[in-house]
Structures are given as C-alpha cells and as structure tokens.
C-alpha cells in the first residue's frame, strides 16, 4: 500500500457571471465603506499603522465589514491573509475578499485544523500579515478560541487586538449578529498590541486574558 499522503483536493472556484456579480457587490461595499468616518486616538493609530513586522490582526467575526477599509486607510493597504474553506461557499467568500483587498489561504476537504494552522504560520513567518477571527467561523459569539493563540505563539508574531465601536448599525440575524454600519455613520477604532510571550503560559488563562481585552476594546458584554 502506498504511503504517499492524500493529495489536497482542488478548491472550488467561481467563474463568469458569478464574478461579475461579486464585482458589483464589492464596488458597492467599497463606496459604502468610504462614507464611514473612522475615529482613532493618536496612540491607537500609531500602534495600528506600524508595518515593519508581520502581525496577526485579531477581529471579532461580526466586525469584518470595515476591516479592509481600515487597513487601506491606516496600514497603507497592506493585505492580510486568512483561511477560507475549499467549499462553494468558501469560493464566494474568497472572491469577495479579493475585491476588498483581503487575501485568502484556501483550505481543502482533506485539510484539518493542523494543516490550516500550519498554513497560517508559514504565511506569517514569510513576513505577511494574517487575520484571525477568534470567535469564528461558527461561534459562540465573542468567545476567544485557542487556535489564534497557538498560531501566533508558533509564528512568533505580535497580535493586534482590534476594537470597533459604531454609532449606527444594522445587525443581521446570523449567529454572530454581523454588523453593517449605516452609510455616513461613524466608527471608533481602538487597538492593543500583545506579544504572545507576555501572556500567561497556561493556554486557558491566556485565552481568557485575550477575550477580556477583546471585549474591552470592542465594548462587548460578557
């Protein structure tokens, strides 16, 4: 029996009219996002704008709407990378992310959590930013899972805990109550830089600390 590893299954790709539809949607959201006023204190802006070393941007799943626009304005448009599944739904998400300036690392049907984590670690070690939604992809909402901590510790990159607080929004009926800010509304951003080695050695204590800090900068309740 062959000992060769199982080949990685091909990722589903969108084509033709599907890409046209995504282009229209992406254009609309880019225009929409640029109407939002983003406020940030000078000390937060200084931390968020540093691009000399790769970082892991940590954002709650329901605050992804303005992630690309925030990076465009304050990090010079430097893209960040995140894992997206190889499924049909994942292909739509990849196409949308590409239009928004977010780079996707495609998983596959043969990938498990370890393979996905290794891909993120390799990306960070190569000098590229990565994005982590610590309560994704299916929740529970505002619960910091240990995967993001494991990845950043192994990649030896700092985490930027990103907080976004809005004045006028529409929240969808998804598990994460996804936030869509109204056009011409405002959003206040906060940012904390955390070095993985400065956190408690115990994984449970470290994730609890990260969750507390994420809730603090986002104004989210327990």
DSSP 149-179: HHHHHHHT--EEEEEEEESSEEE-SSTT--E
What CA–CA distances, in Å, run from 45 to 16, 40, 58, 110? 40, 6, 16, 40
* Interval 22-53: pLDDT, tens: 778 778 888 999 999 999 999 999 999 999 99
User: Rounded to two decimals, what is the model's pTM?
Assistant: 0.85
Model confidence pLDDT, tens digit, residues 129-151? 998 989 977 889 999 999 899 99
Tokens (6 digits) for 198:
């400065």
Q: Per-residue pLDDT averaged across 153-171, rounded?
A: 96
The ranges assigned to domains in the chain are 38-79+110-218
CA distances from 36 to 73, 128, 166, 188, 220 (A): 12, 27, 10, 10, 21
Q: How would residue 86 be classed by pLDDT, with cut points 50, 70 and 90?
A: low
Query: Sorting pLDDT into bands at 50, 70 and 90, what band is 99?
Result: low
């Amino acid at each position: 029996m062959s000992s060769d590893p199982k080949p990685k299954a091909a990722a589903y790709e969108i084509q033709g009219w599907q890409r046209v539809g995504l282009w229209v949607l992406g254009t609309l959201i880019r225009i929409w996002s640029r109407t939002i006023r983003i406020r940030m204190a000078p000390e937060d802006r200084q931390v968020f704008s540093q691009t000399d070393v790769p970082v892991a941007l940590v954002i709650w799943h329901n605050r992804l709407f303005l992630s690309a626009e925030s990076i465009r304005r304050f990090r010079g448009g430097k893209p960040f990378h995140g894992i997206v599944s190889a499924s049909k739904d994942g292909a739509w998400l990849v196409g949308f992310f590409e239009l928004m300036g977010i780079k996707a690392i495609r998983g596959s049907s043969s990938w498990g959590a370890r393979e996905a984590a290794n891909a993120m670690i390799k990306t960070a070690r190569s000098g590229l930013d990565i994005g982590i939604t610590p309560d994704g992809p299916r929740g529970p909402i505002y619960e910091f899972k240990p995967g993001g901590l494991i990845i950043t510790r192994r990649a030896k990159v700092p985490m930027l805990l990103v907080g976004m607080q809005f004045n006028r929004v529409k929240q969808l009926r998804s598990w994460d109550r996804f936030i869509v800010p109204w056009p011409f509304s405002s959003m206040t951003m906060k940012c904390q830089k955390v070095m993985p080695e400065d956190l408690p050695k115990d994984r449970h204590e470290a994730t609890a600390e990260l969750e507390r800090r994420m809730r603090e900068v986002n104004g989210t309740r327990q």
